[in-house]
Each structure stands twice: as C-alpha cells, then as structure tokens.
Amino acid sequence: MSTVSKRSRVIAIAMGIVAVLAVVGHFGAERLEMPWLRQAAEVVILAEILGFIVIERFELFEPVHESIVDLHDSIRTIDGRMAQLEQLGRSLAASGEVSPQPTTADMYRTAARALREALSSDPKGPQILRTARLTGRWRPPADQHYNPHDLEAIREFVSAVQAYEVAPGGASANPWTHLWSKRVLLAVSDLASFEALSLRLPSGQAGMRRDFAIVSDEKVLNVTVKVLVHSQAQAALSPLVIVGEREAVISFEDPSLPYPHWGISFRGDRYASLFARWFDEIWQSPDAFTVYSRDGAHPEELLKIRHKFEALSAPEGRAAV
C-alpha cells in the first residue's frame, strides 16, 4: 500500500468518528432544544460527505496513476534495450560478420557465394558442408511455384552445393572436393510431405530437374542424407548452409510457404562452429533416419519412416498422439 493510500485511510477513519459524533449531536439537539447545535451538526455532516468524495477520488485514480507510471518505466526500459540491440546490430553489420538477407534471392546468392569461396581454396584438412530444411513441410515438385528471380538464385545455390559432390571413381573438376563431405538433414511432418520429399531423393528422382534433386546422382560418394521425423510442421530457423568453419547462412522457414524467404548470414569460425554444433545435435537425434550414404539409397530406412507415418495416421495412432 502506498503512503498516500495509508494517509487516506487514516483520514477516513478520523472522518468516520467525527461523522458519528455529528449524527449524535444532530439528534441530541432536538431533544435538548438547541437549534444551533443541530445546524452545526448538519454543516459537519455535509463537510464529511464532501471529504469522503475527495478521498474516494484519490483512492479511485491513484492506482491508475501508479499503473501509468509503471507502464512508462517499462516503455523506457524497452526503448533502452531496443537501442542497445540496434547499436549491436550496427556494430555487427559494420564488422561484416553478420548481415541480413531480406529476400530469397539475396539469401541464396549469399549462400552460393560462400560455397564457391570455400571450394576455391585449400581447406587444410577434412571439412563438412552442412545443409538442412527443418520446417517439416514439403510439396511435390509439380506444385512448387517459384518467382523467376528467386528460381534463378535457387539454381545458383543448388549448383554450388552439388559442386561439392564426389562422383564414383573419385573424379572431380575441383582439387579440393575430395576433402569435403556433405550432410543433408531434411525434416518431414506427415506422410504427404514424406511422399513429396521422396521424389527428390536419388531413389525417386528419375527425370528430376537438378534444381529439385537433393543429390545429383545415385552414387555420390561423400554425401549423407538423413530424414528427421517431426510430429507437426512448424515455422523454424534452419541452417540453409554451414560451410565448414567459414560461414553459415540461417534461413527462416514458414510451412505455409514453399521455400525460405529471408535469412541471416554469419561469417567467421566462431559463428560457423556454433551453428555446426546445433546441426550436429539434431543430426544425432534418434528420430533422424539415414536414407542415403556413399552406399546409395537405404530403402529399408525409407520404409521405416513410411510405416511410422502410417501408424500415426491410423485412428489408434492419432488417439495415442
């Protein structure tokens, strides 16, 4: 209770006592035939009424006033934090380590540029290229509708990713490709999404355009693909690509959209290592099934995923969920 509220309560108690005395005096004046006492009591009672109105006004509006003051304090605190974040964002942008990618084309072209730069120099040892789609929603390729400008950037990115693949016999146009391995992590949330994704895997992509295919060939030697089973499609941040210890491009995925529309790029080993650990934790999940490796497609793992979704779609499976 505030100081003003305590003071108002003390005044109200005192005024109550005076009011009782005034009422007693009013009735006593008639019996004692003292009209002046009656008039004085009436004046006191009127003053008491006005006093109570004033006190109630403070009691009514003071909590609102205090709430407004608290709200202003909170707004000032939020403004201060926003200013700090804005300053941090400017500092990061000025350093060149973190940059927003506000459009699909910007994001995919930044990722393609990072991929080309990494493959143009000696990595000084084995490296891992990581890429993921974690939202859990997939559409059949025929149902994908791309903005032409976005499609051009996506094809540029896919081409840069597939340049890391080592074909059977170890032949490659780039001398550093054999030092890279590629990990692809793809989430699915229902049977329809799994069916759509299966069309992009080597076992089901006969005649598939290269910009839709997850792996360019059925016998790529340095690629491992895992499918992560989700309980439901959800908006998520996904590592569009983590290029060794050099750079990471993180995309925001919305299950209502066919492909990511914006993201953020992080340059430097401290960022790439952080996101690589995040990727590897998901990669080791028991719900992640290896559907492709250097030995080719793993139809038995694909069958496990199908059976899992069929069991979940059954009435008893839905009831269990």
Please write the tens of the pLDDT for every residue from 170-208.
Answer: 666 677 888 999 999 999 988 888 888 887 776 544 444
β 223-229/288-293 pair status: antiparallel
- The confidence score (pLDDT) of residue 258 equals 80
Same domain, 80 and 39: yes
Contacts within 8 Å (CB) and 24+ apart, 44-50 = 44/18, 44/19, 45/19, 48/15, 48/18, 48/19, 48/22
State the pLDDT confidence band at 276, using cuts at 50, 70 and 90: very high
Residue 42 in this model has a pLDDT that exceeds 90: no
C-alpha 130/C-alpha 114 separation (Å) is 13
With 0-12 CB in 10 A as exposed, 13-18 as middle and 19+ as buried, what is 178? middle
Do 315 and 258 have their domain in common?
yes
Worst-scoring range by mean pLDDT, 113-122, 168-177, 255-264? Answer: 168-177
From residue 81, how far is each of 45, 89, 145, 180, 210 by CA, in Å?
A: 54, 12, 40, 42, 46
d(C-alpha 183, C-alpha 128), whole Å? 7
pLDDT band at 209 (very low <50, low <70, confident <90, very high): very low
- Give the whole-number percent of the chain exceeding pLDDT 90: 24
Which residues, including other chains, have CB under 8 Å from residue 1's CB and lie 6 or more apart?
Answer: none
Q: Is the pLDDT of residue 279 over 60?
A: yes
Domain identity same for 304 and 205 = yes
Q: Are residues 38 and 165 in the same domain?
A: no
Among 133-142, 175-184, 275-284, the range scoring the smallest mean pLDDT is: 133-142
φ, ψ of residue 127 to 5 degrees: the values are -135, 160
Please identify, among 42, 77, 92, the residue that sits at the C-terminal boundary of a domain: 92
Arithmetic mean of pLDDT, 55-61 = 53
Distance CA 25, CA 32 (A): 10
Question: Are residues 264 and 107 in contact, defined by beta-carbon separation less than 8 angstroms?
Answer: no
Burial of 179-206, coded b for 16+ CB within 10 Å and e otherwise, reads bbbbbbbbbbbbeebbebbbbbbbbebe
In Å, how far from its chain's centre is CA 264?
13
Q: CB–CB of 229/308 below 8 Å?
A: yes
**What does each C-alpha distance from 6 to 51, 54, 184, 250 come to in angstroms?**
16, 15, 67, 56
The pLDDT value given to residue 225: 92
Q: Which residue has the higher pLDDT, 264 or 33?
A: 264
Report whether 201 contacts 192 (CB < 8 A). no
Q: What is the CA radius of gyration of the chain?
A: 36
Are the beta carbons of 235 and 255 closer than 8 angstroms?
A: yes
| Cα 227-211-138 angle, rounded to 5 deg | 40
Domains: count for the chain:
2
In this structure, are residues 130 and 186 in contact, taking their beta carbons and an 8 Å threshold? no
| Same domain membership, residue 103 and residue 88 | no
If asked whether residues 101 and 143 sit together in one domain, one would say yes
Looking at per-residue pLDDT, the higher value among 27 and 176 belongs to 176
Q: Is there a single domain that holds both residue 221 and residue 242?
A: yes
Domain with 73, as residue range(s), is 3-92
Summary count for the chain: helices (H), strands (E) = 8, 9
Question: Which of residues 27 and 261 earns the better pLDDT score?
Answer: 261
Domain boundary pick from 92, 123, 147: 92
Whether 236 and 126 map to the same domain: the answer is yes
Sequence-separated (6 or more) residues with CB below 8 Å from residue 123? 176, 179, 180, 244
What's the CATH number where 225 sits?
Answer: 3.30.870.10
Q: What is the pLDDT of residue 210?
A: 46
Instruction: Enter the DSSP assignment of 192.
Output: H
What's the pLDDT at 76?
Answer: 78
104-119 and 148-162 are packed helices; what angle lies between their axes, rounded to 10 degrees? 20
What pLDDT sits at residue 47? 65
* Range in 123-127, 212-216, 275-279 with the lowest mean pLDDT: 212-216
Question: What pLDDT, on a 0 to 100 scale, did the predictor assign at position 74?
Answer: 75
- On the question of pLDDT at 234 being above 50, the answer is yes
22 shares a domain with 136: no
207 and 173, same domain (yes or no): yes
Per-residue confidence band for 281, with pLDDT thresholds at 50, 70 and 90: very high
**What pLDDT score does 199 carry?**
76
Residues 262 and 126 reside in one and the same domain: yes
Of 314, 320, 309, 321, give the one whose Cα is nearest residue 138. Answer: 309
Give the range among 24-38, 109-123, 140-154 with minimum mean pLDDT.
24-38
Please, where are the H alpha helices in 171-234? 191-198
pLDDT confidence of residue 11: 61
Domain final residue, candidates 92, 114, 143: 92
- The beta-strand segments (E) located in 175-287 are 180-188, 223-229, 236-243, 247-253, 262-267
Q: Which position has the higher pLDDT, 175 or 11?
A: 175
Q: Report the alpha-carbon angle 314-317-321, nearest 5.
A: 140
Shared-domain flag, residues 145 and 15: no
